[in-house]
Chains A and B, each alone.
Chain A
Amino acid sequence: MRRLLLLAICLPLGAQWLKYPTPGIPRSAEGKPNLTAPAPKTAEGKPDLSGIWHIDGLGYSTNITSDLKPGDMLPWAEAVTKERVAKLGLDNPVSRCLPPGPSIGLFGELQKVIQTRDEVAILNESGIFRQVFTDGRPLPEDPSPAWQGYSVGHWEGDTLVVETAGFNDRSWLDFGGHPHTEALRVTERYRRKDFGHMRLEVTFDDPKTFTRAWSIGMDVFLVPDTELLETVCNENEKDAVHLVGKLSDEVKGEIAVPRETAAKYVGTYEIKQPRMNVGISEASNGKLMMDVNGKGAVELIATSQTTFLNEAMGAHVDFFPDAQGKTGYLILKIVEGDLRGERK
């Protein structure tokens, strides 16, 4: 396994205040959070987005451009992505504890929203924060490029519209290595539908990387009665010394798996914690493809008759079909541990 990657699905070993009732949540008679209660409002009458949220974007973590068509990305960006994949994500800044950049929070880490009169602050479980200024200031002109850029927000009806510019060009949009330039502008649109649910649409507009602006949409869930844990990347960073591989070595070592064997693995597997659906399908060339929550399908590289490498994830997947090949389970081996997915 070659890289940190699933920052997004780190499994905490122990914790405090992880089961502590969040104040201010409407509850049923037996004390359960009522997540379909109306969305709360601030004293000024705006929707109040405060709370701990989980953005269901993990499926985009390996390929945030998976909804794009061929040709939507400029040739230089295709080439850079290819090179990063060939190097197995060796130079991914997050593997060196640098900030995630524009995709912060999208791939599943918890984040707490704190809304004040003049700003919306977002505390990310990975330990860094964002400030979205809602005091009417414009985006800075010609800003000093920053990993997280500069964010301002305004309300369009009940939707909080956050515009961010001034990114540096060093961050990757996803673990698959999709690049961007300093020209990138990101627009996030948050709409709280009820107490427990938001819809988030994120638009990426970077004419130096893509031929058109494009958007992804995600559901966002309130996570009640828990708290953020402390994440300290620098404390226990063990990846860098392992970042040595090349995709070409893996491909050279690829094992031929008979089609009838591979066909037994095709299906959808449900991992409970963290919640994700792993889809295994067969490409026209007979190779197995893997996606998460229906997004970002990538070709798997067979390293044995039952073990495959998902390069973009830096993870191996082992299949355990039963004798009939009808049911079974898989084990997704990520740095933080083994995740078992039951076939649905």
Chain B
Amino acid sequence: MLALVLTPLSAQWIKIPTAGIPRTADGKPDLTAPVPRTADGKPDMSGLWRQPNGVKYTINLDADLKPGDVVMQPWAAALYKERQDNISKDDPVGYCNFPGVPQMEAVPYPYKIIYGQGTIDILYEAFHTFRQIFMDGRELPKDPNPTWFGYSVGRWDGDTLVVETAGMNDKTWIDTGGHPHSEALHVTERFTRKDFGHIDLQIRIDDPKAYTKPWTVTYGLALMPDTEMLEYVCNENNVDTKHLVGK
């Protein structure tokens, strides 16, 4: 878990004007300017974003939900209790494994959305890795080889980017608190850019093997203007492992 809150000591390009940002007369980014659009008229979500509420949703994705909104199947409830009792000592992220979907968007680190040819891609500062969302109309693979990030396809619902992800392995945790999931997990993320500086992200967790009904969480993302990502190398200095002893 602590891997998630490393603080960089120094950096470059931490203060560099981002090209293409609308600015006020005094040069400040105008984060309430209208949503930019691509040549084909779709909202352009390109830019450096972060989830601005610290580790709130990283630790507990259902932090804003009411009791009864998230009902685990008995095995999942028992596993969640065990993870909570052990203070998340077995969190794969503590061992430099990927948080997976949807936790990657909830970590308090910047990530960059870029538009490729037939894809929308997310470059994550955390774990120095990336995720591809295929926009070329392909379907989610049937019976895929399970992976940490699964397989993601996206489509437009009006001005909302809808990303469906499936084919994840069952090693990732939904949050560092330990909400479990099975390989049946299907995540639907809905990205809506409200204005230049803000995205609403709605995440729907559908895993009938782990939860009695789907549950949905919404949080905001904030644009990070005039800066860049740092190089994040979890394996370089992972001092967590020896502290992950539980209870």
Contact = CB atoms under 8 A, between A and B. Distances in A.
B114 A114 contact: yes
Interface stretch (B23-31, B139-147, B155-163, B214-222): B139-147
Interface in B204-247: 228-229, 231, 233-236
A16 B235 contact: no
A142 B123 CA distance: 25
Contacts of B123: 121, 129, 131
Contacts of B130: 123, 127-129
A166 B11 CA distance: 11
A185 to B, nearest CB: 15
A144 interface: yes
B233 A137 contact: no
A144 B118 CA distance: 35
Interface in A191-235: 227-228, 230, 232, 234-235
Given A98-B235, A129-B130, A234-B96, A16 B141 contact: yes
A323 to B, nearest CB: 44
Contacts of B98: 232
User: Which size bracket describes the interface of A in this complex?
Assistant: 35 or more
Contacts of A137: 13, 16
| Main secondary structure on B side of the interface with A | loop
Interface string B92-133: 000111100000000000001011111101010000111010
A50 B12 contact: no
Contact of A234 (B145, B228, B235, B236): B235
Given A17-B151, A144-B9, A166-B12, A235 B235 contact: no
A71 B19 CA distance: 46
A150 B12 contact: yes
A158 to B, nearest CB: 19
Interface residues of B, number: 45
Contact of A232 (B39, B114, B148, B228): B148
A119 B235 CA distance: 27
B121 A123 contact: yes
A43 interface: yes
B57 interface: no
B128 A129 contact: yes
A98 B114 contact: no
Nearest to A139: B12
Given A128-B129, A232-B97, A14 B145 contact: yes
A116 B132 contact: no
Contacts of B13: 133, 137, 140, 150
A122 to B, nearest CB: 10
A119 B19 CA distance: 10
A144 B11 contact: yes
A147 B231 contact: yes
Contacts of B228: 131
A117 B148 contact: no
Nearest to A126: B129
B10 interface: yes
Nearest to B167: A16
Interface string A89-127: 000000011110000000000001010111101010001
25 contacts: A17-B134, A17-B138, A23-B136, A50-B117, A51-B117, A97-B96, A98-B236, A112-B116, A114-B116, A114-B119, A114-B121, A116-B46, A118-B20, A119-B114, A121-B114, A121-B123, A123-B132, A131-B123, A131-B229, A135-B19, A146-B231, A147-B233, A230-B147, A230-B149, A234-B235
Interface of B: 9-13, 16, 19-20, 39, 46, 95-98, 112, 114-119, 121, 123, 128-130, 132, 134, 136, 138, 141, 144-145, 147-149, 151, 167, 228-229, 231, 233-236
For the complex of A and B, the 8 pairs showing the least CB-CB separation, nearest first, are A140-B12, A16-B141, A114-B116, A146-B231, A230-B147, A143-B12, A23-B118, A14-B145
